[in-house]
Structure 1
Amino acid sequence: MARAAARPIVVQKYGGTSVGSAERMLEVSNIVKSSLDHNRVIVVLSAMSSTKKAEGTTSRLLEAAKEVLKPNSQRYLDIIDIIEEGHLKTVENAVTKGPAYDDVVRDVKAECQRLRSFMSAAEVIDEISPRSRDVMISTGEKLSARIFAALLQSQGVEAVYVNLDKLVEEQFDEKAIDQTFYDYLTNRLTDILGKCTDTQVPIVTGYLGPVPGSILTTIGRGYTDLTAALIAVGVKAQEVQIWKEVDGIFTADPRKAPKARLLSSISPEEAAELTYYGSEVIHPFTMEQVIRASIPIRIKNAFKPEGNGTVIVPDGWRPPQHAESIEDFTPGGTRIPKPSAASLSTPPHHAPTSHPNGFAEDDEKRPTAVTIKDNVIVLNVHSNRKSVSHGFFAHIFLALDRYGIVVDLISTSEVHVSMALSPNVKEVKLERALIELRKYGTVDVIRNMAILSLVGKQMRNMVGIAGLMFETLAKHNVNIEMISQGASEINISCVIEEESAQAALRAIHDECILGEYVE
C-alpha cells in the first residue's frame, strides 16, 4: 500500500462482541470515522458474537459442522437460518437504505446459501475435512466484514470489503509451519491491500483462508488477532489496536481483585506470560509477529473508546517526537483525553505510570501483574526404581506428547516428577496416557487445582519477592502443591487448590504488587 507521510497507518482489529449487533457496529463506525481524521485505517473484523461465546457466529458454525455428520439430522440448516436472520436484522438496523443496503442484503443471502450447499454436500459424503471446516467457519468473518463495509459506505465512507478466503495459494507442510509461512502470509496481505487506494478504508475478514492443518489447529481461536498483526507488519503500520470489551491489561482480573489497576504499558514478555497463565490478553502469535517488527500493540475498550488502553511496547521502542510519553502517544499526533474515574470498570484508583519494562514508577520496584489459571490437573509420577535411568523423563514426556497433553509447569527430583497440565486436556486422552505412565512408576492425579503466577520482567532484581509471595500465601492458609520459577525469572508460579485461588489472587495482588498489608 502506498504510504502517505502525513497520515500514519493504523490497523484496528475489533472482536466479536465489539461488532455483535447493529448498535455495536454503529458505535464502531464512529470510532473508525474519528480515526480517519488523522490516520489511514485498516479494519480487521471477527465474526459477530454476543456476550455468550456459545451464541457467537463461529461457535454456531462449529456446532452446525458437528450436526452435519449426525445421521438424519437437519439441525445444521436451522443453525444457518438463525445466522442468516441475525445478520439480516443487523443490516436492517445499521445500514441506511440505498444501493449499499440492497447489495449487502443480496450478498448475505448468497453467502448463507453457499454455506447450505457446502454443508449439504458434506452430509452426502458423510465427511468434513479440516479444510472443509475452515471454509465453513470463514462465513462468520465474511458476513461481519461485508456488513460493516456496507454500513460505512452508507455513511459516505469509501470502504472496501476485502475477503481473504483465497489468501494461501502455495502448498505448505502442516507439520513444519514456521516463520517462513507467516512471512508468506505477510507478503500476500501486502499485495492484496496494495490494490486499495490511499482514500479507501479496507474492511478485512479476520479469517486467513484455509491454512495447512486447519486454522483452528495451526493457529487456534483468536486467529483474527494474527491477521491484524501480519497486515500491520506488511504495511508498516505505526500501531496495532486490538479493540475488546475491557479497558486494557490490569494488574489482576478486576472481577476477582477489586483493587486491580489499569496498566498504561507492559512489555511483550510480560504480556505473553499473562496470556499463557490465564489472562486473555492477546493471541501469542500476534505478539511475536508485530514485536519483531517493533510495532506497538494497544489494547482498547470498544465500549469506552475515550480511554487510552494499555500499550504492549517492543524493547527499545520510543514514542514519536510529538508524544511526551507512551500514555500520550496516539498515531497521527492526536491526544485522547484520559478517561474519568467514573468511566473505568474498576474503582477510581489512579493507573500506575509504567515504563516500557512494565514496572511502577516509584521508589520500590514491584511485580507487574498476577493471574490465575483454573481447572488444572496435577500429575505426580514416582519412579518404581531407586535409581532412575536417563530415559525416565523421556518416556514420561513422550507418553504425554503421544496424546497431545500439554504441560504448563514442571518440578522434578531424581526419582520424582510433578506436572501441572493445561486445563483443556481431554479426559479420554488423559486416561490413556495414565495407563502408559504407570509402566514407569506410581502415578497420583490431583484435580481441581489452579496455577497462580506472579509476573514481572525484572523480578530477578527484586530481592525477597519470592519469599514475600510464599509468606503471603502461608499467612492466608493457602497450601502450595508445587512451585516453578523459570531461568528468565519473569514469573514465579505455584499450584494451589482451586477453592483458594480467588482469595490467594487478591492477597498476592494487594501485598506483592500494591505493597499493602492485608490481615
Structure 2
Amino acid sequence: MNVLKFGGTSVANAQNISLVIDIITKASQNKKLAIVVSAFGNTTNMLLKTAELAAVKDEYYRSLLQEIENRHMQVVKDLIPVTEQSAVISHTKRLLNYLETLYEGCFLLRELTPKTLATIASFGELLSSYIISEVMKVRQLDSNYKDSRELIITTESFENAQVEMKLTQENCQAFFEKNEKQIIILPGFIAATPNGETTTLGRGGSDYTAAIIASAVDADELQIWTDVSGMYTANPRIVKQATPIPHISYQEAMELSHFGAKVIYPPTIQPVLHKEIPILVKNTFSPEQEGTRITKNPQGKQQAVKGISYIENISLLTLEGSGMIGIPGFSKRLFETLLAEKINIILITQASSEHSICIGINDKEASRAKMALDETFAYEIALKKVDPILVEQQLAIIALVGENMKNHQGLSGKMFSMLGKNNVNIRAIAQGASEKNISAVINSEDAKKALNALHEEFFEEKIKQLNLFVTGVGNVGERFLAQLKQQHEYLREQLKLNIRVIGISNSRTMFFDEEGIDLDSWKDKLAKGDKASLDEFYETIKTHNLRNSIFIDITASHDVSKVYGDYLRNNISVVTCNKIACASEYENYQNLKRISQKYNAPFLFETNVGAGLPIIDTLKNVIASGDRVHKIQAVLSGSLNFVFNNFSNQNTFHDVVTQAQKEGYTEPDPKIDLSGVDVARKILILARESGYILELEDIENNSFLPQETLATENNEDFYASLTKHEAHFQQIFKEANDKDCRLKYVATFEDGKAKVGLQHIPSDHPFYNLEGSDNIVLFFTDRYVAQPLQIKGAGAGAEVTASGIFADVIRIGKF
C-alpha cells in the first residue's frame, strides 16, 4: 500500500484536481492507495481571516464567506455532471451552512476561542476531500471516503494538537485491514480528541496526516505531491539555478525542512523514519520528473553539502553581562521563561566565555519575549550584572545542510569567505556537534544575495555570475554591450563567467531587468524605460542587492564620478573610463581606494589611460613586485596623436579635429583633449599609481591653443576659433617640419614633477613613428634603467576603449 498526499496548489481548482485524479488512477493500478488531500489552495488562510473579521464584528466577513462558497461550488459544477450534482451540492451546502453558523456565533459573541478556530480551520480539508471523493466516484474509480477525525486521536490543544500515537495506530490498522476499496480519500490536517471534538495538527499538518497513516499501515512508500519537483538545492524562486536533489537522507531532509524548505512539513519525517518507509516528493504538474527520494541511506556518490536553506523574519535576542560568567542557572531561567510564553527557539549560540547567550526566534514573538525575559532578569539588570535583553530584528538564518559535511574540511571557511566577499555581515553562527548544518544569522536584505552566492560556490559548475549596471550607452557603451553579446558563450565555457546586464541608463532613460537584459533588444527596452535619475539608478541597484554587482561608468560626467564611493560602500564594484574621479583631489582618489579595500569591492579604471592598453595593470604589477618608477615619458592622447599625424600644410586644423571627433577619438567636448587637460589627468593618474602624491594643478600644462580658443564655452565657438586661428596652427606645423621633426603631445613625469605639452620629436626618438591614434608609455624604473619598459598600441577609439572596460570586468570575474 502507498500513501499519497496532495497539497493545496495540487487541488487549487478543477483543472488541477483533474491532474491529481489522473495520477491517482495510474498509481492505483498496482497498489492500494490512501489519498490525503489538503484544502483547496489558500482556503485555510481565507477561513482564518474570515473568522478574525467576524470576531471583531466586521461585516466584510460575509463577503469572504461567499467567496469561499462560490469557489467550492464552482469546482463541483466543473467536475460533477449536471445529472449527479444535486446530492453533492446539497451536502456541500450543509457543510457551508454549518460554517456560516460558526461565523455568526463569533460575530455575535465577539469571541474566537482556540476550539472554535480549529473547527473553522477544518472545513477546508472537509470540503476538498468530500468533493474530490465524489468526483472519483463519478469517474468510477474503486474509492471511498474516510473522515480522518475517526482515525487520528489527539490531545485537546485544538490548534496544534499532539497525536496519541498508540490509539491512532490501532484505529488506522483496524480500518485499513477491513477496507476492501482500492482507493481511500482522507482529509489532511484534521483530527479529533477522544471525545470527538475537532482538532488540527498545525500548519502543514496534511503532510503529518499522511505520514501517520503511512507509519500505521507499514506503507511501501509515502508520496508528497506538490508544485515543485522535489526538494531543491535552494529555494528555486530565489535561486534560479537551483536543481532538485535526487536522493537525500531523513536527517538531511529534516534539517532542510527545519530551516525553511517548505516542500515538506518538518514533523512528517518522524513517523516514517523508524520504520524506514521511503518518502518521495513529486510535482503534480510534472509527474514524469524524478523528484526527491528520502531514505535512511541514500545510494550513490553523495555531495558534502546537500542543500542551502533559510528562514526569514528572525529576531536575535541576546542576554549578556559579566555577572553571567561562572554562575549556573542563567540558561535554565532563559529557556524556562520562553517555554512559559510558548515561544519556539530556532537557533541558539553561546560564547565560550559564558558572557552572552544568543537565541533566534520569530520576529512576531520578539517583543513578547523581551518583556518576559527583562522581567525574569529584572534583579540582575537592576544590579547591572546583565544588560537588558538586546533585540535585533529583520534578520534571516541561512544554513548549509549535508550529512557528509563532517567528513569534509574547510566547508565553513568556504561558506564564510563567500559571504565576506559579498559583504554579507554575519550576526551569529551556530553549528551542531553532528555537523549536519552550519547556520549563520544575517540581515534579511542580504538573504537573496547570500543564497545565490553560496549556491554558486557549492553547487554550480564553478561558473561565476557577474551582474552589470551600465550608465552611458553611447558610442563606447554600445560597443561594450555588443562585445558582451558576442563573447557571452565563450566567457561561460572558457572562463566560467556568466555575465548579465541588469541595468542600463543614458541621460534620458533607464531600464532594469533582474533576469538579465536581452542584448538584442536593449535599445528598444531603454527607449521605453523610466526617466533617468542618478539617485534612482543607485537606489535600484541597492534594492536588487545582487552578488558580484558591478557599476560601469562610460560617461565623462562629474556627477556620476561623485557617487563611486556610495557604490563601493555597498560592495558594488566600480569600473570606469571616466578619468574625473582618479584625477580629482588626491584625498578623494585615496579615499576611493581605501573604501574599495574595506568593502572588498574592486575599483578598476584601466581605460583612464591608454584606452584598451594594459598600462595601469602593468604599472600595478611593477609596483607590487617592489620596483620603483623614477621617470615616465608618454604620448597619452590618441586624439592628439591622430590630429598631429594627419595635420599638414595640405589641410586645415579644423578639418582634422572634426574628423577625429567623428571617428570617436575625442571626448564629446574636443577642447578637453586639445587643451591638454585630458593628458594632464592621465599623467597624474600614472604618477599616483606609481606611489607619488600629486594634484592636477601641480602639472605644468603648456597648451598650444590660443587663449581665445581655450576660453570658448561650446563646441560651435570652439570650432569657429580653430578656423580663425588656422595661421597659428600652420606655423606650429612649419616649425616642426623645418626641423625634420614630427609633432607629438608628450606627458613627462620626473623627479616628482609632471608636465604636458607639444614637442618636436626627431626621427631617432621612439615616439617619431607612432602612427594613427596610438599611445606609447615609457617607464624608467630601478630595474628598467637603460631600456625603459615600453607599452605601445591603439590608445583611442570606441572599440578599444570598450575592450578595456571589458577587460576590467573580466579581472573582477577572476577575483
Alignment of 1:322-333 (within 5 A): none
Match of 2:81 among 96, 100, 105: 96
Match of 1:423 among 348, 362, 367: 362
SS of 1:303's equivalent in the other structure is: coil
Alignment of 1:67-86 (within 5 A): 67-71=53-57, 73-86=58-71
Indicate whether 1:478 and 2:424 are aligned.
yes
SS of 1:300's equivalent in the other structure is: strand
Equivalent residue for 2:350?
412
> Which residues of structure 1 form unaligned runs of 5+?
1-8, 50-55, 316-354
Indicate whether 1:135 and 2:119 are aligned.
yes
Q: 1:147–1:255: structure 2 CA closer, same or farther, 3 Å change rule?
A: same
Cα offset, 1:177, TM superposition:
7.7
CA distance in 2, matches of 1:246, 1:386: 48
Q: 1:221–1:172: structure 2 CA closer, same or farther, 3 Å change rule?
A: closer
Equivalent residue for 1:4?
none
Equivalent residue for 2:285?
303
Equivalent residue for 2:276?
294
Cα offset, 1:154, TM superposition:
1.4
Could you give the per-residue CA deviations for residues 395-439 of structure 1, whole angstroms, max 9, x where no partner exists? 222233332332222222334324242335335413423532663
Alignment of 1:389-408 (within 5 A): 389-408=327-346
Equivalent residue for 1:182?
165
Cα offset, 1:126, TM superposition:
4.7
Indicate whether 1:436 and 2:352 are aligned.
no
Indicate whether 1:235 and 2:235 are aligned.
no
CA distance in 2, matches of 1:456, 1:29: 35
Equivalent residue for 1:272?
254
Could you give the per-residue CA deviations for residues 95-133 of structure 1, whole angstroms, max 9, x where no partner exists? 22333x322111101111122223334545554432322
Alignment of 1:1-400 (within 5 A): 9-49=1-41, 56-71=42-57, 73-99=58-84, 101-167=85-151, 181-197=164-180, 199-211=181-193, 215-216=199-200, 219-315=201-297, 355-356=298-299, 360=302, 365-385=303-323, 387-400=325-338
> Which residues of structure 2 form unaligned runs of 5+?
381-385, 465-812
**Length-normalised TM-score, structure 1:** 0.81
Cα offset, 1:290, TM superposition:
1.1
Cα offset, 1:225, TM superposition:
0.8
Indicate whether 1:457 and 2:396 are aligned.
no
Cα offset, 1:446, TM superposition:
1.8
CA distance in 2, matches of 1:173, 1:223: 14
CA distance in 2, matches of 1:211, 1:513: 46
Cα offset, 1:458, TM superposition:
1.5
The code of the aligned residue for 1:106 comes to S
Q: 1:175–1:47: structure 2 CA closer, same or farther, 3 Å change rule?
A: closer
Cα offset, 1:248, TM superposition:
0.6
Q: 1:356–1:424: structure 2 CA closer, same or farther, 3 Å change rule?
A: farther
Match of 2:443 among 483, 493, 497: 497
Cα offset, 1:88, TM superposition:
0.8
CA distance in 2, matches of 1:289, 1:169: 15
CA distance in 2, matches of 1:60, 1:451: 29
- Contact preservation (8 Å) 1:380, 1:416: no
CA distance in 1, matches of 2:102, 2:158: 24
- Contact preservation (8 Å) 1:167, 1:208: no
CA distance in 1, matches of 2:311, 2:108: 42
CA distance in 2, matches of 1:445, 1:169: 39
Cα offset, 1:388, TM superposition:
4.0
CA distance in 2, matches of 1:173, 1:68: 23
The code of the aligned residue for 2:462 comes to E
- Contact preservation (8 Å) 2:363, 2:394: no
The code of the aligned residue for 1:419 comes to C
CA distance in 2, matches of 1:226, 1:42: 14
Q: 1:211–1:246: structure 2 CA closer, same or farther, 3 Å change rule?
A: farther
- Contact preservation (8 Å) 2:366, 2:391: no
Q: Which has the higher contact order (CA 8 A, sep 6+)?
A: 1
Could you give the per-residue CA deviations for residues 153-192 of structure 1, whole angstroms, max 9, x where no partner exists? 111212212122344568778999877x123222222333
SS of 2:175's equivalent in the other structure is: helix
CA distance in 1, matches of 2:254, 2:335: 24
- Contact preservation (8 Å) 1:405, 1:421: no
CA distance in 2, matches of 1:380, 1:418: 6
CA distance in 2, matches of 1:113, 1:177: 26
SS of 1:209's equivalent in the other structure is: strand
SS of 1:453's equivalent in the other structure is: strand
Deviates more, 1:236-245 or 1:113-122: 113-122
The code of the aligned residue for 1:263 comes to I
CA distance in 2, matches of 1:41, 1:446: 48
Identical positions, percent: 30
CA distance in 2, matches of 1:140, 1:149: 14
SS of 1:385's equivalent in the other structure is: helix
Q: 1:176–1:227: structure 2 CA closer, same or farther, 3 Å change rule?
A: closer
SS of 2:235's equivalent in the other structure is: coil
Structure (1 or 2) with the larger CA radius of gyration: 2
The code of the aligned residue for 1:502 comes to K
The code of the aligned residue for 2:356 comes to V
- Contact preservation (8 Å) 1:410, 1:417: no
- Contact preservation (8 Å) 2:325, 2:355: no
